[in-house]
Amino acid sequence: MSGPGGGSGGGAAIRTDALTKRFGAHTAVAGLDLEVPRGAVFGFLGPNGSGKTTTIRMLLGLVSPSAGRAEVLGEPIPDALRRVLPRVGALVEGPAFYPFLSGRANLERLDTADPLAPPRTRAARVAAALERVGLSHAARKRVHAYSLGMKQRLGLAAAILLPRELLVLDEPTNGLDPQGTREVRALIRSLADDGTTVFVSSHLLAEVEQICSHAAVLRAGRLVAQAELGALREGARFRFEVRTPDAAEAAEVLRRFGVEPEPAGPGIVAGVAAHALDGGGADRPAHDGVPPPEAVVAALVAAGVRVRGFSAGAGSLEERFVELTGEGFDVAG
């Protein structure tokens, strides 16, 4: 599966060309061709150990590529790092701070490290960033006393000390409780609404699925899929599932609609429509070959099947990725 989601080469926020990183005999990233359009919220997905963080480290100039090229915001990396990095906010492999300094002092320290950050507005920008991630109350507390979730949010605050064109966020929801995860998602969404391109990595697809416009999947250092989310869903099979004690009758009805039933557990009959979906959407079958769910339910009831549960729709994106990668998502590559 290939093909960038959109945007011409010059407009890409991130573009890599056969980017490769070898550590001795181990190839962490192999010939990566990535294209992240400006304005996108780009989900960079893959199991732990698949090369996501190494890729991010190369994009930020922390690690030099063994082969291939990378461009960030239209400038070559690592040659133009000094010009590029002030325009990029980043969270790399978890937050890291001086435990003996307060949250605010930590942010001031990082801001001081950027020679382009205006010192006059430093205090105000630090306060605003803390406010935006909901840490104003803990600004004076030493980071030593922060929970992992608070550190994660402080890391996000550090990434948005200045208005950025690109945010590179490595596992931003790691260590957050469900409420914190929702807040981070909302924050990313609001940053994206400001026009910031967001490149967010995760090993948990469900966490980013709701906010991404594009996604790429990495497995064992190789790109296995890269596209707009809608396009990724395209080709997904439409699936029906009926919960009923009358399995035989239900299977018979499904077969009449061209849906081949398969065993799916006790009291469940499931089947996949013969035709694939087009890109129109996952909720509604747009193809002639896909029967309308309401017609299937009516037929089931008419046939005397005791319907206790019914669902119809394209599988989750996660199932789609398993289909693409040929293995479970949480398996290390």
Partner 1 sequence: MSRAEAGAEPRPAGPATLRLLGSELGILFRRWRTWAMFGALAAVPVLIGLAVRFSGRPPSGRGPAFLNQVTENGLFVGVVALVVCTPLFLPLTVSVVSGDTIAGEASLGTLRYLLVAPAGRVRLLAVKYASTALFCVAAPLAVVLGGTATGLVLFPLGQATLLSGAVIGPGEAFGRLLLMAGYSAVSLLGLAAIGLFASTLTGVPVGAMAATAVLAVVSQILGALDQLEWLHPWLFTHHWLGLADFLREPVAWDSLGQNALLQAGYAAFFAALAYGRFTTKDILA
3-state helix, strand, coil split of the chain in percent (to 5) is: 35, 30, 35
333 binds partner 1 (CB under 8 A): no
What lies within 8 Å, CB to CB, of 321 at 6+ separation is: 45, 205, 217, 225, 329
Q: Is 109 in the site for partner 1 (CB under 8 A)?
A: yes
By CB atoms closer than 10 A (0-12, 13-18, 19+), residue 64 is exposed
Residue 64 near partner 1 by CB under 8 A: yes
- How many whole angstroms separate alpha carbon 185 and alpha carbon 189? 6
Q: Confirm if 71 and 42 have CB atoms less than 8 A apart.
A: no
Tallying the residues shown for the chain, one arrives at 333
Cα of 14 vs its chain's centroid, Å: 15
Min CB(314)–partner 1 separation in Å: 39
Which residue of 57, 104, 203, 219 would you call a contact of partner 1, by CB under 8 A?
57
Task: Provide the 8-state DSSP code for 203.
Answer: S
- Token pair of 182 as six digits: 């929702």
Cis bond leading into 78, ω under 30°? yes
Among 17, 33, 75, 93, binds partner 1 (CB under 8 A): 93
Residue among 168 and 273 whose Cβ is closer to partner 1: 168
Q: Which stretch binds partner 1 (CB under 8 A): 2-10, 81-89, 132-140, 286-294?
A: 81-89
**With CB under 8 A as the contact rule, which of the stretches 31-39, 102-110, 132-140, 302-310 interacts with partner 1?**
102-110
Q: Does 163 bind partner 1 (CB under 8 A)?
A: yes
Minimum distance of partner 1 from residue 197's CB (angstroms) = 14
Q: Which residues lie across from 223 on neighbouring strands?
A: 218
Which of 111, 171, 228, 234 binds partner 1 (CB under 8 A)? It is: 111
18 binds partner 1 (CB under 8 A): no
Q: Total number of residues binding partner 1 (CB under 8 A)? A: 41
Cα dist from 193 to 35, 134, 160, 217, 244, whole Å: 20, 19, 14, 24, 45
CA distance 42 to 24: 30
Round the CA-based radius of gyration of the chain to a whole number and report it.
23
Residue 45 CB, nearest distance to partner 1 (Å)? 22
Stretch of residues binding partner 1 (CB under 8 A), selected from 1-9, 39-47, 53-61, 324-332: 53-61
The answer to whether residue 153 forms part of the interface with partner 1 (CB under 8 A) is no
* Range in contact with partner 1 (rule: CB under 8 A) among 29-37, 42-50, 118-126, 323-331: 118-126
170 by Cβ neighbours in 10 Å (0-12 / 13-18 / 19+) ranks as buried
Asked if 71 is part of the footprint of partner 1 (rule: CB under 8 A), the reply reads no
Pairing state of beta strands 166-170 and 197-202?
parallel
Segment contacting partner 1 by CB under 8 A, of 3-11, 42-50, 162-170, 259-267: 162-170
Applying CB under 8 A, does 190 fall inside the site for partner 1? no
Which of 86-94, 177-185, 197-205, 242-250 is the region at the interface with partner 1 (rule: CB under 8 A)? Answer: 86-94
Q: Of the candidates 4, 43, 61, 293, which one interacts with partner 1 according to CB under 8 A?
A: 61
Q: Is 273 in the site for partner 1 (CB under 8 A)?
A: no
Residues that bind partner 1 (CB under 8 A): 57, 60-64, 81-82, 85-88, 90, 92-101, 108-119, 121, 125, 158, 162-163, 165
